[in-house]
Amino acid sequence: MAEKNDDDFIYGRLQNELKEIEEQKKRAHLRKRESESNWLADLLRQIGKALAYSFELLAKLFEKFF
């Protein structure tokens, strides 16, 4: 009967380790998605700033000529 308890203990530990690995995998996936979305948001912000600056220059140009 001791072997049965040992097997149950080992099985339980392996299940716990598997759950922990799956949770780590989920967290890594979420971090990767957040990183990708942050990268995209930063890119869009930079594009927006570049467009805003070009329109500011265009507005100054119109002010000088008109």
List, for residues 38-47, the tens digit of each pLDDT value. 888 889 999 9
What letter represents residue 24's amino acid?
Q
- C-alpha distances in angstroms, 5 versus 1, 9, 16, 19, 54? 7, 6, 16, 21, 73
Domain range summary for the chain, segments of one domain joined by +: 1-66
List, for residues 10-19, the tens digit of each pLDDT value. 999 999 999 9
Among residues 44, 52, 47, 50, which one has the least CA distance to residue 60? 52
In this prediction the pTM is 0.52
